[in-house]
Amino acid sequence: MAERLEDIAQQMVAKGKGILAADESSGTITKRFDGIGIVSTEESRRDYREMLFRAGAMKTAVSGVILYDETIRQKAKDGTSLVDLIKAAGAVPGIKVDSGAKDLALSPGEKVTEGLDGLRERLKAYYDLGARFAKWRAVIDVGPTMPTWNCINANAQALARYAALCQEAGIVPIVEPEVLMDGPIAAHDIDVCFGATEWILKTVFQELFVAHVALEGMVLKPNMVVPGKKSPKQASPAEVAEKTARVLKQCVPAAVAGIAFLSGGQSDAAATEHLSLINQIGGLPWPVTFSYGRALQAAALEAWAGKAENVAAAQRAFDHRARMNSLAATGEWKAELEKKAA
Whether residue 42 is contained in a domain is answered as no
Whether the per-residue pLDDT at 290 is higher than 70: the answer is yes
Tell me the torsion sign for CA atoms 42, 47, 52, 54: positive
Contact 64, 219 (CB under 8 A): no
Q: What is the mean pLDDT of residues 235-248?
A: 98
Q: 187 falls in which pLDDT band (50, 70, 90)?
A: confident
% of the chain with per-residue pLDDT over 70: 99
For the segment 92-117, what is each residue's pLDDT rounded down to a tens digit?
A: 999 999 999 999 999 999 999 999 99
Closest CA to 115 of 149, 69, 183, 150: 69
Q: What is the mean pLDDT of residues 53-78?
A: 98
Q: What is the mean pLDDT of residues 50-75?
A: 98
The whole-angstrom separation of Cα 337 and Cα 297 is: 18
Which of 110, 176, 178, 207 is catalytic? The answer is 176
Range of the domain at 251: 5-11+64-293
Based on the residue annotation, tell me whether 176 is a catalytic residue of this protein: yes
Whether residue 79 is contained in a domain is answered as yes
Whether residue 316 is contained in a domain is answered as no
Instruction: Provide the domain count of the chain.
Output: 1
Whether residue 336 is contained in a domain is answered as no
Closest CA to 283 of 322, 241, 325, 323: 241
Q: What is the mean pLDDT of residues 143-171?
A: 97
Q: What is the mean pLDDT of residues 7-34?
A: 96
Based on the residue annotation, tell me whether 221 is a catalytic residue of this protein: yes
Which of 17, 111, 135, 221 is catalytic? The answer is 221
The whole-model pTM stands at: 0.96
Dihedral, CA of residue 332, residue 335, residue 339 and residue 340, to nearest 10: -20
The whole-angstrom separation of Cα 51 and Cα 249 is: 38
Whether residue 317 is contained in a domain is answered as no
9, 162, 172 from 117: Cα distances, Å: 25, 10, 19
CATH number, domain with residue 189: 3.20.20.70
Which pLDDT belongs to residue 341?
63
Task: Provide φ and ψ at 41, rounded to 5°.
Answer: -130, 170
Whether residue 128 is contained in a domain is answered as yes
